[in-house]
Structure 1
Amino acid sequence: MNFVDKDLLSIQEARVLMEEAREAREAMLTFSQERLDSAVECLAAAAKELAEELAALSAEETGYGRQQDKVLKNRFICDTLPGRLRSMKCVGILHEDARERTMDIGVPVGVLVSLTPAYSPVSTAIYQVLTAVKSGNPIVIAPHERASKVTARLIDRLAEAARDCALPEGAISCLKTVTKSGIRELIGHPAAAMVINTGVSDLCREGAESGKPYIYGGTGNSPVFIERTADVRQAVCDIIASRTFDHGIVPAAEQYVVADSLIAEEVRAEMVKNGAHFMSEEEEKKLVNLLCPEKGKADMEVMGKSALHLARWAGFDLPDSVRVLVSQQKYISDQNPFATEFLCPVLAYYIENDWLHACEKCMSLLVKSHGHTLVIHSKDEEVIRQFALKKPVGRVLVNTPATLGSMGATTNLFPAMTLGGITAGAGITADNVSPMNFIYRRKVGYGVREAGEFLKGFRNPPSEEEEEDVKQLLKQILETLSRELD
């Protein structure tokens, strides 16, 4: 009987990849920023050639999302990210202050281990590779088991392109025998300098306890507040477009709509006009049974599907014009299934009397869901600032769709597929993760003062008794010298 232990194979493969990456790091430490930049351009071009093919493979292998939207994400990273990276300096002399006589030197942190998700496997892996190479670091991708084939296809092509642009062997690699044991080996390997986890929540504890610097792009469940001064038509249009993009599989997408009571009816009417269906109590029960067959746990098999698919699977028919399913809610509780992260076009709808109550509602939703992003639609700058000041999130987006705004498509935030957060209690940054998160700054300071000057200036002055003792000693010395001269 032939028996193959997949865990052992995965662990062995992980060790080989990490040793190769360790050797690649030594070579890459000698690379200039210009050489790394040239490699980034080459890799982006290679990835772009496969944008459509990989979008189709991703949708087919994972069963998540909408192929056309995946093409847009892949092209966005391949086109936009290199342009943003060109102006960045990550390695070598970053800053020199001639007046203060100081310098900042950018130094790569070392081998990066990146855990990529099933919902955006291709765009996330492309982005991680480009930012790693830009900052002079080798990277080993640990793909989600559900997206292992499409990720391997991408990394094989990027590794081939890396050889063409003279990157060392092992600079870009991917775990192909994917098991949790193999991924744990990558995380815990002595060569691993940093771990980046983009939404793989079941491995969050391993990353956080690894003893390595850990970046966690956590769950979304983003609340959005429509304040009474907002352009309601545009706000609703943005929310529906964002929540339905890639069939709602992007974690940053809005999940909770909080409307000011003064405009709540207008918001509701506009949502219906844009394809929202407010469910009856019976329809909600059917949908929850589909989405959460186990209490408090979402069924990932039905995520990333259209609203019509979800409704029909749940057992109720809707017109073809329906794009998103909405449940009107009053309270937040542990028993409420809509507090679970749903990566599909489903929204919970709340009404609050004013922005202060809306502020508290959003705060409660963020704490409950560990969300990393908040959206506000408003023309009142003071309200916007109050929301920005008080919310425990990594980013606050204003008058823009959460999905596209968070990744930098409709905002000037750094183009990123890993969005740091703080409410999940894991990770070292709340940034849109960039190459600057993958370096450390070596400080250089030239001497500008003599040591004697420093010591003289900071010595404690003598006491009166000490001064008197010195005077008496000097007097005795002078008297002795005088007698000897006589």
Structure 2
Amino acid sequence: MNVRASHAEVGAHGVNANASAKASTQANADSNVAEEVAALVGRARIAQREFERAGQDALDMAAAAAAWAIMEPGRNRQLAELSVRDTGLGNVDDKFRKNYRKTLGLLRDLHGQKTTGVIARDAANGIVEIARAVGVVAAITPSTNPAATPANKIVNALKCGNAVIVAPSPKGYSSCALLVGFIHAQLEKAGLSPDLVQMLPAPISKAATAELMRQADLVVATGSQANVRMAYASGTPAFGVGAGNVASIVTASADLHDAARKIALSKTFDNATSCSSENSVVIEDAVYQPMLDALAACGGVLLDNDQKAKLQATMWRDGKLSPQCTARSAAVIARVAGLDEIAESGPRFLMVKETGFGERYPFSGEKLAPVLTVYRARDFEHAAEIVGDIYSYMGAGHSVGLHISRDAADTGQAVELGETLPVARVIVNQAHCLATGGNFDNGLPFSLSMGCGTWGRNNFSTNLNFHQYLNITRVAYPIEERVPEADDLLGEFFRRVGR
């Protein structure tokens, strides 16, 4: 008997058996996840099919119920406190304001909007448009806004006759669960099924989130680019957002005090958890030092080269942002970086000078912290070029800020940026993080999810709003035939180049 061969055979059989056992265990786990998600989706479908036929009043009541669930001050305060406690991101007062204002603004946008049945008639072209629900929506939400973002998606989904199942981030689970409980109570008061709004059970896993994406009718994904890519790869129609890395330009004509005040507000709101918070400011040379002085007067502290190096080593480890600095206050970040004197001065935000772009210059990227990168530009054209270089590294498609004179003669600069930079929004003379997602002093839809177009690898470039939660059926009636002559359409071409 060949003992060595026998031992080898036994070993091979053992390895194969272990592999088979692991494969079987994984298959059982996958099957359990699929069944759990299917049960949620099944309940959602039953509730949604009845709900979408209930009429506009029922849809409006459901949206109002979900909105009031987060807006009521006592509940809002609980959600804000729990969000900061469990995620460690942002600050309570700003979360409280965000929960209220973003939801109030959304209600303003939705007020009087017809989202079921016939919504438009075009007699001249014989077209009637009918709004239809999409079905069951999978809402993927981030830890940065664990209450406001789910609420926004839930209200939009309900307004359009859909059911929604939320997949929160693991850190944001507790806040989302509290919010869903509040919404259920309000839905029951309105005589509506709580199965219209559900969430994945804890612990939140990638497998369960992926399975929800596969089984839903529509995915709306906000958060990490990994989640967005997973949404697009799920096989289900999906709307996902691009990466943020906003830059703002300050021109020589700007009101520097006003610009600094607004940039400081945007940079510090909720400890810069928003993807719309400025990561860089590009200042024209003619006002460079006065603008730095204005930013300092608003609480910014400019670091020297040694301090910048310490901060960089602290904020990035192996090329990745360190969680110990993400969405923390400037004082906390400075203390973690060993900049005790800076921390003791009580800075609102930190500033660093930069000239380069890309991985070798991490301050040119998104920071999710009250840290502002400062670039110096020769003039407006050079400033736009710098922003283009920043977005070639990170943030293409999102938006750009512009601070200019209120004189009408300067408005052409905003249009120029909109025509040349890879951005879906140009925000003029506003606190960027408050304005980009809609505000009461601009006309953008209230949203916490900004599409970045093909520049940001997205299939839409608007703020995510109720239109993305609808199907539109079109009825086409016959009209009198209108066949144009070729010369009517090609006449200009023929005149220029001949036939």
TM-score by length of 1: 0.88
Question: Partner residue of 1:127?
Answer: 152
- The 3-state SS of whatever aligns with 2:103 is helix
Q: 1:385 aligns with which of 404, 408, 415?
A: 415
Contact map agreement 1:80 1:415 (CA 8 A) in 2: yes
Alignment of 1:43-122 (within 5 A): 43-49=66-72, 50-122=75-147
User: CA–CA distance in 2 between the matches of 1:426 and 1:41?
Assistant: 33
Question: Partner residue of 2:313?
Answer: 289
Question: Partner residue of 1:429?
Answer: 460
User: 1:33-66 deviations in whole A, cap 9, x for unaligned?
Assistant: 2221122122222222311110000000000001
Question: Partner residue of 2:37?
Answer: 14
User: CA–CA distance in 2 between the matches of 1:150 and 1:215?
Assistant: 23
1:169 Cα deviation (Å)? 4.5
Change (3 A) 1:13 1:316: same
Alignment of 1:209-248 (within 5 A): 209-248=233-272
Question: Partner residue of 1:37?
Answer: 60
Alignment of 1:11-410 (within 5 A): 11-49=34-72, 50-177=75-202, 178-189=204-215, 192-295=216-319, 297-317=320-340, 318=342, 319-371=344-396, 372-379=398-405, 380-409=410-439, 410=441
- The 3-state SS of whatever aligns with 2:89 is coil
Question: Partner residue of 1:481?
Answer: none
Change (3 A) 1:9 1:64: farther
Contact map agreement 1:239 1:402 (CA 8 A) in 2: yes
Contact map agreement 2:228 2:241 (CA 8 A) in 1: no
Could you tell which deviates more after superposition, 315-324 or 118-127? 315-324
- The 3-state SS of whatever aligns with 1:326 is strand
Contact map agreement 1:162 1:172 (CA 8 A) in 2: no
- The 3-state SS of whatever aligns with 1:151 is helix
Q: Which amino acid aligns with 2:452?
A: G
User: CA–CA distance in 2 between the matches of 1:282 and 1:117?
Assistant: 34
- The 3-state SS of whatever aligns with 1:359 is helix
1:14 Cα deviation (Å)? 2.1
Contact map agreement 2:284 2:379 (CA 8 A) in 1: yes
Contact map agreement 2:414 2:426 (CA 8 A) in 1: no
Could you tell which deviates more after superposition, 345-354 or 87-96? 87-96
Could you tell which deviates more after superposition, 146-155 or 3-12? 3-12
1:7 Cα deviation (Å)? 7.3
1:168 Cα deviation (Å)? 3.3
Contact map agreement 2:51 2:58 (CA 8 A) in 1: no
User: 1:234-288 deviations in whole A, cap 9, x for unaligned?
Assistant: 0111001100000111111000100011111111111111111111111112111
Question: Partner residue of 1:415?
Answer: 446
User: CA–CA distance in 1 between the matches of 2:29 and 2:291?
Assistant: 53
Question: Partner residue of 2:6?
Answer: none
1:302 Cα deviation (Å)? 2.3
Q: Which amino acid aligns with 1:381?
A: T
User: CA–CA distance in 1 between the matches of 2:477 and 2:172?
Assistant: 51
Q: Which amino acid aligns with 1:447?
A: P
User: CA–CA distance in 2 between the matches of 1:259 and 1:423?
Assistant: 28
1:10 Cα deviation (Å)? 5.0
User: CA–CA distance in 2 between the matches of 1:27 and 1:231?
Assistant: 55
User: CA–CA distance in 1 between the matches of 2:181 and 2:475?
Assistant: 40
Contact map agreement 1:43 1:158 (CA 8 A) in 2: yes
Question: Partner residue of 2:10?
Answer: none
1:449 Cα deviation (Å)? 4.2
Question: Partner residue of 1:467?
Answer: none
User: CA–CA distance in 2 between the matches of 1:286 and 1:237?
Assistant: 27
- The 3-state SS of whatever aligns with 1:365 is helix
Q: Which amino acid aligns with 2:252?
A: R
Q: Which amino acid aligns with 1:165?
A: A
* Cα RMSD (Å): 2.2
User: CA–CA distance in 1 between the matches of 2:193 and 2:367?
Assistant: 41
User: CA–CA distance in 2 between the matches of 1:56 and 1:156?
Assistant: 16
1:6 Cα deviation (Å)? 8.3
User: 1:62-120 deviations in whole A, cap 9, x for unaligned?
Assistant: 00001100000111133222122112222211111234332111111221111100011
TM-score by length of 2: 0.86
1:201 Cα deviation (Å)? 2.2
Change (3 A) 1:206 1:131: same
User: CA–CA distance in 1 between the matches of 2:297 and 2:118?
Assistant: 55
User: CA–CA distance in 2 between the matches of 1:448 and 1:281?
Assistant: 72
Q: Which amino acid aligns with 1:303?
A: T
Contact map agreement 1:39 1:162 (CA 8 A) in 2: yes
1:207 Cα deviation (Å)? 0.8
User: CA–CA distance in 2 between the matches of 1:222 and 1:205?
Assistant: 21
Contact map agreement 1:115 1:200 (CA 8 A) in 2: no
1:142 Cα deviation (Å)? 0.2
Q: Which amino acid aligns with 2:403?
A: H
Question: Partner residue of 2:16?
Answer: none
User: CA–CA distance in 1 between the matches of 2:390 and 2:133?
Assistant: 38
